[in-house]
Amino acid sequence: MDNFSVKITKNIYLAKLIVMILVFFSDRVSKIYILNFFQKNQIQEIAISKFFNITLIWNEGIAFGLLKFNNNTIYNITTLIITLISVIILFYALKTKNFTGFFYAIIFGGALGNLYDRVFFNSVPDFIDLHINNFHWFIFNIADIFITIGVIGLICSEIFLKKND
């Protein structure tokens, strides 16, 4: 490998790490802001529009509150599995040489944000509440948005990039 290729490879690794860090910190900053705001004002919900509220809930399950158990052993096993999956995603983010590596980096940054909360708070603060009248979607957070963007990006790259191979 020549010097130019090594430089490009190092820059791509650095760019992926920056993406992971930016996603993680944007999630952390949003959660810290919301938690402080709600604690300071002693409220649970802010109506922003007729389709959007900021509603603080603590999610002890996995994505969208699924698999919520009142058992610490199951919670810890679930957290361990999420950690292992996150490490695999990190591996793919760093090893994938094409653009899809950035989608893995986005997913990893979001997963790390939610994993941080699971470890330090034993649950994940969710606060984005989209709704139409009385139908509410699952409440989610910034990390969930990035994870979703990354997964959609991976699906699109599978469909469109593989088609060209």
Query: Which of the residues are catalytic?
Result: 126, 144
Bridge-partner residues for 126, per DSSP? Answer: 57
Written as six digits, the tokens of 98 are: 């094409």
For the beta carbon of residue 114, count every other beta carbon within 10 angstroms: 26
Return the amino acid letter for 141: N
Nearest alpha-carbon partner for 22 in 128, 143, 120, 151: 143
How far apart, in whole angstroms, are the C-alpha atoms of residue 47 and residue 131? 11
3-state secondary structure of 34: helix
Residue 60 is classified by DSSP as -
